Amino acid sequence: MARRKQAVTIKHVAADAGVSLQTVSRVINKEPNVRPEMMARVQESIAKLGYVPSIAAQRMSGSRSYLIMALNDRERTIEGWKSREGTDWVDQMLLGGMLTCAEHGYRLIVELVDTHSDHIERELSAAIAALQPDGVLLTPPHSANPEIIALLDAAGIEMARIGSLTPGPGFRLTMGDDLAAAMATRHLIELGHTRIGFIAGSLEYELSGWRVDGWRAAMNEAGLSTEGMLGQGDFSIESGRICAPQLIDAGATAIIASNDQMAMATLEVARARRLSVPGDLSIVSFDDTPVVRFAHPPLTAIEQPIAAVTARAVELIIGARSCRAALDTPVVVTPSLTVRESTAPPRS
């Protein structure tokens, strides 16, 4: 195979339209100072020749790379894919991120990095040097990682930190974790529950705390005690197996788990104890993943708008040059609660 060259370049277009390279470039980049008639002529040639700019060349000459990198935790992601249990975080990111990127002529590229690794900086620097993305989507627990943030900031790369409110560079977005927890709690309160347990997620994630806050706020608001009702999990199914029994023993008639794994563990524990769900125990999951939907009974769950928040993040990054306003105020994409068959009034 010969040295592969671009089929149609800006030169061809310029020649065809009878203008300079520069003018074509201006049209491509929608720059001002081009007469409408010139523009029309150039665009006609572009369409005729089927010209598409090479992002490699664009990047080379110092402009954008039209690439956005989505950083995810390697271990967790691979584990999810291998287990084939329907962990669809990446899918939802792709759904929201890829499509939004495509709308603006960008591409989304998924990158996995180890959170707990001393060479995280090297890994990330390498990815940045190789790809030179215009922006990076940071997901928990990377979103608040000071090393990563500093590195990206120093490199002058836009970033959207999903699930972090830690001040610093970059856009911050959340999926209203406190709201969601409160929403779930109120749903249970309305059903008549007074002993509502909550299994928290790993403290490494900021959002774990917000969820606890939301639950506690809703409980206080209703004048209910949270005494003995908080279990400290870490998002793993094992931690759910440990926390659920404790809460049940403490008299919980309903349990909200901070993710799907812990919710499934809770369901498992209930089954082992021959407690009917939702008869004896109501359960709410904090992820509306396939596992949760296909559980028996299907679980009432908080639906986190992962696709929506990712789409928003991409938009912020792409529009970063123009509107820096959003930098100060975090963006909140509101979650929703899907009531299924795992929640009901407590046995009186």
Partner DNA sequence: ATGAAAGCGCTAACAA
Partner DNA sequence: TTGTTAGCGCTTTCAT
- Footprint of DNA on this chain (CB under 7 A)? 3, 5-6, 9-11, 19-26, 28-29, 32-35, 37-38, 51, 53-54, 57-58, 60-63
Q: Using CB under 8 A, which of 13, 24, 27, 98 touches a copy of itself?
A: 98
Q: How far is the CB of 321 from DNA (least distance, A)?
A: 11
Query: Which does residue 203 bind out of DNA, a copy of itself, none, counting CB within 5 to 8 angstroms by kind?
Result: none
- What dihedral do alpha carbons 188, 191, 194, 197 form, nearest 10°? -30
> Which tokens hold the place of 281?
């125990």
Q: What does DSSP say about strands 282-285 and 254-257: parallel, antiparallel, or unpaired?
A: parallel
Could you tell me the CA-to-CA distances from 223 to 1, 12, 218, 312 in Å, in that order? 75, 73, 9, 37
Which of 85-93, 209-217, 233-241, 308-316 is the region at the interface with a copy of itself (rule: CB under 8 A)? 85-93
Q: Which does 110 bind (CB under 5 to 8 A by kind): a copy of itself, DNA, none?
A: a copy of itself
Q: In the complex with DNA, which residue's Cβ is closer, 35 or 274?
A: 35
Question: Measured from the CB atom, is 119 or 347 closer to a copy of itself?
Answer: 119
Q: What's the rounded Cα separation, in Å, for the pair 177 and 287?
A: 11
User: Using CB distances below 5 to 8 A depending on partner kind, what does residue 20 bind out of DNA, a copy of itself, none?
Assistant: DNA
76 binds a copy of itself (CB under 8 A): no
Residues 153 to 172: which contact a copy of itself by CB under 8 A? Answer: 155-157
Q: What are phi and psi of 99, to 5 degrees?
A: -65, -40
Distance, CA of 185 to CA of 221 (rounded, Å): 11
d(CA 323, CA 302): 31
Residue of the chain from 109, 275, 332, 339 that contacts a copy of itself (CB under 8 A): 109
Could you tell me if 243 and 283 are in contact, meaning their C-beta atoms sit under 8 angstroms apart? no
- The 8-class DSSP code of residue 327 comes to G
Residue 140: cis peptide before it, omega within 30 degrees of 0: no
Residues 240 and 260: their CA atoms lie apart, in Å, by 10
Answer yes or no whether residue 336 interacts with a copy of itself by CB under 8 A: no
78 or 323: CB nearest a copy of itself:
78
Q: Which span (4-12, 174-182, 203-211, 309-317) binds a copy of itself, by CB under 8 A?
A: 4-12
Stretch that binds a copy of itself, among 187-195, 196-204, 272-280, 289-297 (CB under 8 A): 289-297
For 317, other C-beta atoms within 10 Å of its C-beta total 25
Structural tokens at position 161: 């930190």
CA distance 208 to 233: 10
Tokens representing residue 1 in the block: 């195979």
Question: In a 10 Å sphere around its CB, with 0-12 CB exposed, 13-18 middle and 19+ buried, how is residue 154 labelled?
Answer: exposed
In the bound state with a copy of itself, the residue whose beta carbon lies nearer, of 241 and 293, is: 293
Contact status: 88 vs a copy of itself (CB under 8 A): yes
Q: Is the omega angle on the peptide bond into residue 36 within 30 degrees of 0, that is, cis?
A: no
CA distance 262 to 287: 10
323 interacts with a copy of itself by CB under 8 A: no
Q: Name residues contacting a copy of itself, limited to 41-60 (CB under 8 A).
A: 50-57, 59-60
Q: Which residues pair with 67 in a beta bridge?
A: 107
State yes or no: residue 324 binds a copy of itself (CB under 8 A).
no
Q: 98 touches which of a copy of itself, DNA, none (CB within 5 to 8 A by kind)?
A: a copy of itself
Chain contacts with a copy of itself (rule: CB under 8 A) = 1-8, 50-57, 59-60, 62, 65-66, 78, 80-82, 84-86, 88, 90-92, 94-95, 98-99, 102, 107, 109-112, 122, 125-126, 129-132, 155-157, 288-291, 293-296, 307
